[in-house]
Amino acid sequence: MAEAERIIGTPDVDDEAAAPAERPKGRRRIAALFTVAVVAYLLDLGSKMLVVARLEHHEPIDVIGDLLRFEAVRNPGAAFGMGEAFTVIFTVIAATVIVVIARLARKLYSLPWAIALGLLLGGALGNLTDRIFRSPSPFQGAVVDFIAPAHFAVFNLADSAIVCGGILIVLLSFRGLDPDGTVHKD
């Protein structure tokens, strides 16, 4: 049916006039995705550089009494320090997430999804950069974590971006909003 409408055309819609209006909207969403990703990545990278230069091998800094402190920690594993022997696998997973998001970006027409995927992309790039370039060796590097809430795991801004992006994706899914901008009312 869609092929027939494309060939024959419809009296209400001119394909050539409608197509240019759709493309810029999609491009704006892709631009938003990459802008959010770059901002998240640069904030993470800058914070880690600052932590390595000023906080590593020093005493932790209490930010809010006993509730929050900054403490430089190298984490070769995943969240909560789990899976320290699987650093290479985490590197592959992060690289895969980046490729999937880059491919999904072509079909992106939703600003909330662009923001969510941008947060995931920026966070994945931030932690992947650590895994590739930090010691002990390429693709096995330990991630720099430094935000240490009381009674919780130490994390970084990339982890925060990934979690916020994931939560936003769950919320968008529950609301029925797809990355292509369509809304499902179930």
- Catalytic residue numbers read 145, 159
Q: Which of 43, 32, 38, 34 lies closest to 157 in space, CA to CA?
A: 43
**For the chain, how long is the longest CA-to-CA vector?**
73
CA-derived radius of gyration, the chain: 21
Q: How far apart are CA 150 and CA 148, in angstroms?
A: 6
Q: State which amino acid sits at residue 112.
A: P
- Of the candidates 93, 88, 91, 98, the one whose C-alpha atom is nearest the C-alpha of residue 37 is 98
DSSP 71: E
Rounded CA separation 29/46 (Å): 26
Look up residue 145 and give its two tokens.
Answer: 């974590």
